[in-house]
Structure 1
Amino acid sequence: MKILSIPIESLTLKETIKLIKNCIDKNHFTQHVVVNAGKIVAMQKDEALRKSVLEADIINADGMAVVWASRFLGKALPERVAGIDLMLKLVEMAHEEGYKCFFLGAKEEVVKKVVEVFKEKYSEKIIAGYRNGYFNEEEEEEVVKQIANSGAHMLFVAISSPKKEVFVNKYKDIMNVPFVMGVGGSFDVVAGITKRAPLWMQKIGMEWFYRFIQEPRRMWKRYLIGNSKFIWLVLKEKFKSGRGQK
């Protein structure tokens, strides 16, 4: 269903995983992205980000703000599909189904720790490879070659937006990976660098605030200004649709 002109999958987490498994088994390239209030606001002005998101095959609502907006606009999404929850479930599925995962992004010590955590929890057999996210445009083809030769079924990209969306969209035809997903700051959580909000805060849609109080200087603009702009976009959409029904 379309929320603020963005086609978002009306799927639960369980249904999303089933869809992704089907794509992997068919060896059909699938690019997955999640959208939250901040990304939707950024898409209004960043044409490259907007294009790369809209060209993705699966778009889930990561933020509760998007789910609330869908209800307010009369197009209720079934639930939030948080990027980190989906990534953790997919890594578990990799262990169960014999898939391999490639982890791209974050600092070297962080992505290395992520790989160590998953090796210990599951098996080194699920690891196709890893690479930190600090590379320039001249090194991109080398990184893509490493991924393409790794035998990975799933690629998790922990690079900031819009760089990760643009990177994946640019090289999706030659990466030789059935499933690619941007995972934001998920590597930091798995590595123990940052903590997720308590479950009760996640359920009431306040996970963003928990992250804000951990890094107020870095996050204040994204959340306080970004969320305000998102609310304005939703109100404009509601008013526009209301006038159209008259």
Structure 2
Amino acid sequence: MTETGIKQERILGHNKRINILGIQIDKLNQKETIALVEKYVLNKEPLHLIGVNADKINSSRKNPRLKQIVNSCGIINADGASVVLASKFLKQNLPERVAGIDLMMALVELSEKKQYSVYLLGAKKCVVEKTAKELLKRYPRLNIVGVEDGYFKEEDWPRVSEKVKHANPDFVFVGITSPIKEYLVEFLQNDGNRSVFMGVGGSFDVISGEIPRAPQWMQKTNLEWLFRVLQEPKRLFGRYFKGNSKFIGSVIREKFSNKLEKVK
């Protein structure tokens, strides 16, 4: 476990977790997640808050470094309907899907209310700047202490780290492609940054208005993934259809291999 992971365990305490295909996932709903996250903020303890879906689990199984980072995170949410369904199939019921963008917005709302500071890191310069403006429209008292695009190289990470340290935010929302996002957060925490870091995927694009979000009925019926595929079929078709099929097959094999182990 990394030094960052050890620090996170101190506050993590005894989160109830399940294991799906070697990936740990917390049995937390959104409300419980927010309450736990705030403990990290109040204690100024570093936290890597991560959401896993079928694609992240598939990627982690092929990438030992990513798997180690994911499993060492202080809070690991199920950010995918397929993961929640898999938990029920394996009789390890997760309470609900904790959608990344919904959790981010809830934490932003909390930040305005409690005057916690926020740093936006990632996406194109125009997108992250529009995201900051849109958030301030919705939450006028929000304390945004840093806005930076994600177009930098690994050799620039120490510079980025120094900027984050200087701003000393309570929350850093990171809109960078995985697994670079996870590697960057690990670096920033190991470099002494004590913020709550949350990867937010394409949330900046949605908040800024660059791409639309699925209508409410699709969100409520767990069809948001389909809306995303229809928006970007070339990029997302393989991830969702091939990736989910692979994930489902692996879950089925795990269930029956566990049954065989019990028989033995």
Instruction: Calculate the TM-score normalised by the size of structure 1.
Output: 0.97
1: CA distance, partners of 2:147 / 2:37? 21
1:93 to 110, 127, 142: 110
User: Closer, same or farther in 2 for the Cα pair 1:216/1:104, shift >3 Å?
Assistant: same
Q: Which residue of structure 1 lines up, in the alignment, with residue 164 of structure 2? A: 147
Which consecutive segments of 4 or more residues in structure 1 shift more than 6 A?
none
Shift of 1:240: 1.1
Tell whether 2:24 aligns with 1:7.
yes
Shift of 1:174: 2.7
Q: Which residue of structure 1 lines up, in the alignment, with residue 120 of structure 2? A: 103
Q: Which residue of structure 1 lines up, in the alignment, with residue 3 of structure 2? A: none
Equivalent pairs, count: 246
Amino acid corresponding to residue 74 of structure 1 in structure 2: K
Shift of 1:46: 1.6
1: CA distance, partners of 2:170 / 2:194? 5
Shift of 1:137: 1.4
1: CA distance, partners of 2:217 / 2:92? 25
Structure 1 counterpart SS, 2:169 = coil
Preserved contact between residue 154 and residue 177 of structure 1 (Cα < 8 Å): no
Amino acid corresponding to residue 219 of structure 1 in structure 2: L
Q: What do you get for the CA RMSD once the two structures are aligned?
A: 1.2
Shift of 1:230: 0.5
1:170 to 187, 208, 232: 187
Tell whether 2:198 aligns with 1:156.
no
User: Closer, same or farther in 2 for the Cα pair 1:30/1:135, shift >3 Å?
Assistant: same
Shift of 1:124: 5.7
1:146-202 deviation digits (Å, cap 9, x = unpaired) = 111112100000001000001111221335233110010010010011122122222
1:44 to 58, 61, 64: 61
Amino acid corresponding to residue 236 of structure 2 in structure 1: M
Preserved contact between residue 161 and residue 193 of structure 2 (Cα < 8 Å): no
1:188-242 deviation digits (Å, cap 9, x = unpaired) = 0100111221222222221111100001011111111111110111111111111
Structure 1 counterpart SS, 2:62 = coil
2: CA distance, partners of 1:103 / 1:174? 18
Structure 1 counterpart SS, 2:146 = strand
Amino acid corresponding to residue 98 of structure 1 in structure 2: Q
Preserved contact between residue 127 and residue 208 of structure 2 (Cα < 8 Å): yes
1:136 to 143, 150, 153: 153
Preserved contact between residue 102 and residue 154 of structure 1 (Cα < 8 Å): yes
User: Closer, same or farther in 2 for the Cα pair 1:88/1:175, shift >3 Å?
Assistant: farther
1: CA distance, partners of 2:62 / 2:142? 42
User: Closer, same or farther in 2 for the Cα pair 1:154/1:17, shift >3 Å?
Assistant: same
1: CA distance, partners of 2:57 / 2:159? 31
Amino acid corresponding to residue 197 of structure 1 in structure 2: A
2: CA distance, partners of 1:64 / 1:151? 34
1:226 to 236, 243, 262: 243
Q: Which residue of structure 1 lines up, in the alignment, with residue 215 of structure 2? A: 198
Shift of 1:125: 4.7
Tell whether 2:144 aligns with 1:123.
no
Question: Which shows bigger deviation, 164-173 or 88-97?
Answer: 164-173
Q: Which residue of structure 1 lines up, in the alignment, with residue 5 of structure 2? A: none
Structure 2 counterpart SS, 1:149 = helix
Show structure 1 runs of 5+ residues with no match.
Answer: none
Percent of aligned positions with the same letter in both sequences? 43
